[in-house]
Every structure is written in C-alpha cells, then in structure tokens.
Amino acid sequence: MAPYHSIPHRRIFRGLAAAALASYVTVLMACSTSTSKFSPLLNQGVMPVSEDNAFTGANLFLAREMEQSVYLYNFMKERGAPQGIELKGDSEDDLEAHFYYTAGPEEYLAKPAPRSRFARTKDTRREWIIIGPFAVDRDRYRDIQRLERTNGGAFEIFGRREFLGPQSSPGTQVALRPVFVPTPIPPKRHVAKKKPTVDTEALSTSTSKEPLNFDQQALKEAKEMAPRDGQGDLIHTVTSKTETIQSIAQWYTSKSTTAADVAKKNGLPEDAKLTPGSKILIPKNLITNPNRMK
C-alpha cells in the first residue's frame, strides 16, 4: 500500500494530465473546424457560380458563409446569387470577396465584420458586410462578359438544397454600364472635301413641307435610332411605368415571344416592374426595329 503522504501527489498528477488532455482535444477540434479547406480558392481570379451544381468550389464557399452570416444570406435572398465570385487575401481569416453580376455588369464587395471582443472563443461564426454596387473596372470587364448568364445558384445550406434566384424586387434594379466599353478603332480614311454644314436646329424646328435632302434625312434617322453598347446590343431607356418587357420586346424585335430572351439578358423575370430611368438591353441578334420606342 502506498504511503499516505503520496496520495495527494498522485491526485495532482492525474489532474494535470486530464487538463493537458482536454487542452489537446480543444486544439485538435479547433484545427479540424478551421476554415483552411477553402484556401485553394484564394487569388484564383473570377470563379463561376453554378446554377445547378451545388458542389463547385464557389457554391460550397458561399453556402458555408451563408450558414454563418445572416447578412450574407439575406443579401443573396434579395439580390440573387452572383454569376461569379473572386476571393482575395492571404488567408481565409483575412480576405475580401467580390461578387460579380453579368447584368450591367456590376460588382459588390464583401468584407468580414470585426469580431466582438466579448464574443465566445468557441464561436467560429462571422458576419459579412456587403457594399455596392460598383461598375466593373476594365481589368475585370472581359472576364465578367465571359461568365454564363444564369437565373441564380444552387446551394447546400444546413443539409438542404436551396436555389437562390433573381432579385425579389426587380422593379428597383437599374442596369449599370461598365466603366470601360471596348469600341473598335475606325480605319483611316482619306480627307474628303468639306461639305456644307446642315443647320440641325433649323431642321428640328422647320415646319416646311419640302422634301429632306440626303444629309437631313441621315440626321433625322440617326436621331431616332436607339443607342448601342460596345457589344452591339441595343440600350432602351424606360420612360414610363406602363412599359413592360413584353412591350419593349414587341417594339424592337417585332415579337412579344422574345420577352423571355430579353428578360434573361437583363437578369430579370418577364413580369418585372420597370421604373423610369432603368436601362434594358436588347440582344443584337433579335433586333428588327432599331428606332427608339415611342
């Protein structure tokens, strides 16, 4: 039988061993729940978000962060899933996320909110603060244009499949034009003799019934035609609350059945409520009437 005075030493040793084991288990659990499994996605450029595959890298990252952040989940519910994301930073604990939408195109910037010093140490959740939208800069414009236009994204959130589609309030959406729109460089032409100038002011105010000459007719037609972007798509500016995607499609394509294609081009549902000042893009391959809608 051990001496009486040695029993407290054994109890102290067992207590220290138990504490060391608990610390080791805590560290092991913390390492197993770290966010390093998505580190291969950092600084890899723009990654597409899949519309039907919830297990691509971009979809898995967004699903995990939406499980942790109420702000990010509600943002995706309202705005809809982006067509592409880009993660920048040295580690997942210190990064920023860029969300890209092909309609416009436009960009949102998301950053993790600072953790409260009163938060529990075992709490690994983090909130995201999203700001934007911004016009896409010229370094990312071509990358965004190559993304497939989708109606949303598929995600596995808390073990259930969820599809986050277009913005729930499409009437407030305004398509933003990019900062840089590539335009072709016109070929050099020989300098021709200067033609007599046409008084455009007199042309617009004239009430004469005399037939227009060639220059006057060309100016009149150019004034009535709707503008186009660098890709050749026609840009229509909404001027009335009564306008619909169906009426716009009927005017520019001569068919109301192309409304679905026009809505998809702009990332909107067919029954979207349009507000004056909004920009609607008409695909160039559908245009039959290039004149401004009256």
**How many CA atoms lie less than 13 Å away from 22 in the CB half-sphere?**
6
User: Is residue 130 domain-shared with residue 242, that is, in the same domain?
Assistant: no
The pLDDT of residue 40 = 87
- Average pLDDT estimate for 183-207: 59
φ/ψ of 220, rounded to 5, equals -65, -45
- How many C-beta atoms surround the C-beta of residue 102 within 10 A? 20
- Residue ending a domain, among 115, 138, 168, is 168
Domain limits at 218? 213-286
Comparing 23-37, 44-58, 252-266, the range with the smallest average pLDDT is 23-37
- Average pLDDT estimate for 233-261: 89
pLDDT above 70: percentage of residues in the chain: 65
pLDDT value at 278 more than 70: yes
Number of domains into which the chain is organized: 2
Q: Give a yes or no: residue 69 inside a domain.
A: yes
Q: Give a yes or no: residue 196 inside a domain.
A: no
Q: 53 falls in which pLDDT band (50, 70, 90)?
A: very high
Q: Give a yes or no: residue 38 inside a domain.
A: no
> Helical H runs in the chain?
7-32, 57-68, 70-79, 138-145, 200-205, 214-224, 245-253, 259-265
Give CA separation, 294 vs 112, 225, 236, in Å. Answer: 47, 11, 11
- Average pLDDT estimate for 208-221: 57
Structure-model confidence comparison of residues 256 and 11, the more confident one: 256
Comparing 204-208, 244-248, 261-265, the range with the smallest average pLDDT is 204-208
Q: Give a yes or no: residue 184 inside a domain.
A: no
The pLDDT of residue 201 = 54
Comparing 27-31, 230-234, 266-270, the range with the smallest average pLDDT is 27-31
pLDDT above 90: percentage of residues in the chain: 24
pTM for the predicted model, two decimal places: 0.45
Q: Report the distance separating Cα 4 and Cα 75, nearest Å.
A: 67
User: Is residue 55 domain-shared with residue 136, that is, in the same domain?
Assistant: yes
User: Is residue 132 domain-shared with residue 220, that is, in the same domain?
Assistant: no
- Residue ending a domain, among 101, 133, 168, is 168
User: Is residue 128 domain-shared with residue 71, that is, in the same domain?
Assistant: yes
Structure-model confidence comparison of residues 30 and 245, the more confident one: 245
User: Is residue 222 domain-shared with residue 164, that is, in the same domain?
Assistant: no
| Mean of per-residue pLDDT scores for the chain | 76
User: Is residue 162 domain-shared with residue 220, that is, in the same domain?
Assistant: no
pLDDT value at 56 more than 70: yes
Give CA separation, 63 vs 157, 162, 213, in Å. Answer: 6, 9, 63
- Residue ending a domain, among 135, 168, 201, is 168
Are 258 and 286 in contact by the 8 Å Cβ rule? The answer is: yes
User: Is residue 164 domain-shared with residue 222, that is, in the same domain?
Assistant: no
User: Is residue 146 domain-shared with residue 256, that is, in the same domain?
Assistant: no
Q: Give a yes or no: residue 200 inside a domain.
A: no
Q: Give a yes or no: residue 180 inside a domain.
A: no
User: Is residue 153 domain-shared with residue 250, that is, in the same domain?
Assistant: no
The pLDDT of residue 61 = 93
The pLDDT of residue 169 = 39
23 token code pair: 């610390």
User: Is residue 156 domain-shared with residue 47, that is, in the same domain?
Assistant: yes
Structure-model confidence comparison of residues 264 and 120, the more confident one: 264
User: Is residue 145 domain-shared with residue 221, that is, in the same domain?
Assistant: no
User: Is residue 163 domain-shared with residue 108, that is, in the same domain?
Assistant: yes
Q: Give a yes or no: residue 235 inside a domain.
A: yes
Q: 219 falls in which pLDDT band (50, 70, 90)?
A: low
Q: Give a yes or no: residue 6 inside a domain.
A: no
The pLDDT of residue 33 = 41
